[in-house]
Structure 1
Amino acid sequence: MVEPSSPLDAFQAQTPAQKRALSYSNTIHQLFTSVMQEKLPADRIVGEYFRTNKKHGSKDRRVIRESLFALFRWWGWLKQVHTSQQQDASWFACLAMVAELESHKWTQFSEAWQEFANQSEQFKLSASKSTLDSVTDKCAYLQQQLQMPSLVTTQLLPDWFWQVTDVDNTQQLAIVEAMSSRPPIWARAQTLSQQQLINSLAKDDVEATASEFFDDALSLGFKSINLNAISAYQRGELEIQDLGSQVIGQICAPKAEQHWWDTCSGAGGKTLQLRSLMLRQNSKADGSIISSDIRRKPLEELTKRAKRAGFSGINVAPWKSEALPVDANTFDGVLVDAPCSCTGTWRRNPDMRWLDDVNVVTDKHDLQLDILTRSAKAVKAQGQLVYATCSLSPVENEQVVNAFLNANPEFELRTLTHPFKGTQVEMLTIWPQDANSDGMFVAKMIKR
């Protein structure tokens, strides 16, 4: 008997839907393998693939992209099923399962994947007879379909995540539930009122919902949006910024006449938010913001975004060495949005939970403390120092702040109000389940 030349040769397409399903499977497998082997963000891999492969229409891209990211979302379970690197029956089972778990609409392809999987005696897959609303429902469905009672909800996040976070057992399911769902696209009204922006977006057939928490925040739902086709974005009236990220600017609460330094600004999302908050108090606010980063390209992007919004009062000062790129003892407020593991953004980047290991958390503490310590020198007396990350680990958060305070007694913590719960805390962690956002951490200190 002649062996098939490739694993796919064992699966013969009998219908046009099966043929397309095989083609999609091949592309998704290629992308999945590239992400796992090259350890590069899936967004980057997918974006480059679509740029060089123009043959795919919008429907093709949606099937490929959403199936790929769904695989990463549920990989904590699926990796126990697909233990090879081949496109075999177990691979088709994974594709069929994620389509079922996420209620994908391309049933003709998911049914084809299911049929291919069922060619193996290992699988006898069938569609769910009830709606799979929760992670618990989905776990029970897979346990039954795959005859794997060992599947548990906490496996959807890597073991090391639970080791470096301070999570009560009663909260584990809520975190897994949030991390296993897609967050909405959060936006911020930059130069308009919340309602003005909602009205403007409606003219471009974009439905927006006002946030109950911040008067400049709104949700754009879950559908992909071509920002360049939105008039409000072209005019700088709209910025895409997750609600969790917006908490940071709200905690900073800059006054119109104050001078702030954004020490690790990247492309300037929080810089623009700080300036917008200043101008909402006074349209002629004479305060200013200096933004710094070690990378020049993000600062160039910030300059473009500020120009698009018509914002003055924003300047850039790149880090060129360990010396401060600004004057010491000068600023009313200094924001240190430190580089971190980004575990709080795993909802948007589910691949990263499987590409990283515990070192992505434990290796950054010293760097974060160093950046915070150096940046603090720019705070003037009675000025504010705000430390933030998009990490959920105390190693990068509370431990860094406490180490800084022990070495710098002239700074003291300020009590914060949780924007979504109303509770009083010394240091604030926003969990993804708190308000359907990314996870964030922030602490505010005052220089005595």
Structure 2
Amino acid sequence: MTPSARLGASIDLLTAMEAAPRKPADAVANSFFRERRYIGGGDRRAVSGMVWEIMRAWRRLGWWLTKCGADITPRTLAAANLVLKGWPAREIADLFAEGRFAPGALTYAEQDVVSALAGGTLDNADMPRAVRLELPDWLLPRLEETFGDTLDAELAALSEPATLDLRVNILRTNRRDAQNALGREGLHAILTPLSPWGLRLNGRLPVTSTTPFKDGRIEIQDEGSQLVAAIMGVTPEMRVLDYCAGAGGKTLAMAMMMENKGHIAACDVSEVRLDGAVRRLRRAGVHNVERHLLKTGDKWAKRRAKSFDRVLVDAPCSGTGTWRRNPDARLRMTEQDLEELLVKQAEILDRASSLVKPGGRMVYATCSVLRAENTSQVEAFLNRHPDFQLVPSDSTALPESLRGTSMFSLTPHQNETDGFFAAVLERKPEQDAETTEL
């Protein structure tokens, strides 16, 4: 594709995203490219890069466009992004060319936008703090509560493109061999500093087309997500429940830790997600996992009350910790969405806790950086359930910096991972619980 055609495709993709405001941008992008098979891999990455760059600067670009009296459209956003990056007006006009796949010439109004913004920079001292940090206004105080004086640095890291992290499946290989196998296919990975199973690549690379991925030696999984699995401390003889298993990323990691022994029940309310897990389990060679679709009125959980050694609650959350990968999510979420999530998280914790055996442990985890979804939820749960207590993880898979912790909060700024939270909650042995009640 020509540079002009790439710009035209990026504007078309932004238009498709604008038409589906409640749908995640990556899902819209996947559909967009499936319908345009003629766009090759390199061009897809270039178009996606343009679009994600605009989404990371959405509020600031909108502020500039409003300041110069222009409409906020995919075309004006794309033009403003170019001029504020320092592109000369003549080159921008050349990109907005006529012809097949090209975006079409700048209108007079769009030319005025380019002229008005010439010589400017994306950031401006007059911008409100929420605009500068690319946040909805209502979310700023909640993040100030979480991060305090480090907010600017944390948000800057959450705005950077994410690395591509992989988990090596030690049921089939080891880190060094997997690293070498990827290297032979032109993908040069480094070892992650925290996860004992992690490899890291920079940028969007075609990992799923490699032999190590196809034969189950590697999985795509952020290092922070790997550490959530690690803090579980599962061992081969255990009965383990992944209560919100989704497509099974952490289920796979725990099965690996358990050496394909013991028993894991992977549950979810979505049949589609569980079906996706089947394909991943087969590819990884995992066979100690039972799947179960959670339904209203289901007696499955009642029959298994207090029977699991470990329960993982990877709760549905705001996803604020994944903004590096999903920059659109920060602007799609509403305050009502968060309030509804807080209620749902508490309900899920209460239900899942009934499945933990005395002396067993439950790990509550989110990919959120908000205190309301993390430590506040844990504190509220412990107030409702005095038969549970926070305890240090006994997992030896954790790095030295996290070993023996009862809770951790990871962020891109501090740990170079996505934002993750995890807390280890133990159901007190029956005798201890009775003593507490007395």
Q: Is the structural similarity TM-score above 0.5?
A: yes
Separation of aligned partners in 1, 2:415 and 2:226 = 12
Number of residue pairs aligned between Structure 1 and Structure 2:
403
Separation of aligned partners in 2, 1:27 and 1:356 = 23
Separation of aligned partners in 1, 2:82 and 2:64 = 12
Does the 8 Å contact 1:154/1:173 carry over to 2?
Answer: no
Is 1:123 the counterpart of 2:101? The answer is no
Quote the residue 1:179 is aligned against: 158
Quote the residue 2:327 is aligned against: 350
Q: How many Å apart are 1:212 and its aligned residue?
A: 1.9
User: How far does the alpha carbon of each residue in 1:89-122 deviate from its partner, in whole angstroms, 9 at most, with x for none?
Assistant: x434323057x39x9xxx9669746996655575
Quote the residue 2:415 is aligned against: 435
Is 1:66 the counterpart of 2:52? The answer is no
Cα gap change, 1:121 to 1:311, in 2 (>3 Å): closer
The amino acid that maps onto 2:134 is L
The amino acid that maps onto 1:409 is P
Which of 78, 81, 86 is equivalent to 1:95? 81
Quote the residue 1:40 is aligned against: 23
Separation of aligned partners in 2, 1:262 and 1:440 = 17
Q: How many Å apart are 1:171 and its aligned residue?
A: 0.6
Is 1:313 the counterpart of 2:298? The answer is no
Q: How many Å apart are 1:263 and its aligned residue?
A: 0.6
Which of 323, 327, 332 is equivalent to 2:309? 332
User: How far does the alpha carbon of each residue in 1:25-51 deviate from its partner, in whole angstroms, 9 at most, with x for none?
Assistant: 642442342244xx2111111111111
Worse-superposed segment, 263-272 or 435-444: 435-444
Is 1:199 the counterpart of 2:180? The answer is yes
Cα gap change, 1:149 to 1:113, in 2 (>3 Å): farther
User: How far does the alpha carbon of each residue in 1:211-257 deviate from its partner, in whole angstroms, 9 at most, with x for none?
Assistant: 12122111022132240x21111111111111111111111010121
Where do 1:287-326 residues align within 5 Å? 287-323=262-298, 325-326=300-301
The amino acid that maps onto 1:377 is S
Where does the alignment leave 5 or more consecutive residues of structure 1 unmatched? 1-15, 127-139, 280-284
Is 1:246 the counterpart of 2:249? The answer is no
Q: How many Å apart are 1:414 and its aligned residue?
A: 1.1
Separation of aligned partners in 2, 1:377 and 1:111 = 64
Cα gap change, 1:328 to 1:224, in 2 (>3 Å): same
Secondary structure at 2:293 match in 1: coil
User: How far does the alpha carbon of each residue in 1:32-76 deviate from its partner, in whole angstroms, 9 at most, with x for none?
Assistant: 42244xx21111111111112233333432332111111111112
Q: How many Å apart are 1:424 and its aligned residue?
A: 7.3
Separation of aligned partners in 1, 2:293 and 2:387 = 27
Quote the residue 2:433 is aligned against: none
The amino acid that maps onto 1:158 is P
Separation of aligned partners in 1, 2:157 and 2:370 = 17
The amino acid that maps onto 2:153 is A
Quote the residue 2:12 is aligned against: 27
Q: Calculate percent identity across the aligned residue pairs.
A: 27
Does the 8 Å contact 2:243/2:311 carry over to 1?
Answer: yes
Cα gap change, 1:288 to 1:108, in 2 (>3 Å): farther
Quote the residue 2:436 is aligned against: none
The amino acid that maps onto 1:230 is T
Where do 1:363-382 residues align within 5 Å? 363-382=340-359
Quote the residue 2:34 is aligned against: 51
Cα gap change, 1:354 to 1:111, in 2 (>3 Å): farther
Which of 178, 200, 215 is equivalent to 2:196? 215
Quote the residue 1:408 is aligned against: 385
Q: How many Å apart are 1:302 and its aligned residue?
A: 1.4
TM-score by length of 2: 0.83
Quote the residue 1:137 is aligned against: none
Does the 8 Å contact 1:410/1:447 carry over to 2?
Answer: yes
The amino acid that maps onto 1:223 is R
TM-score by length of 1: 0.81
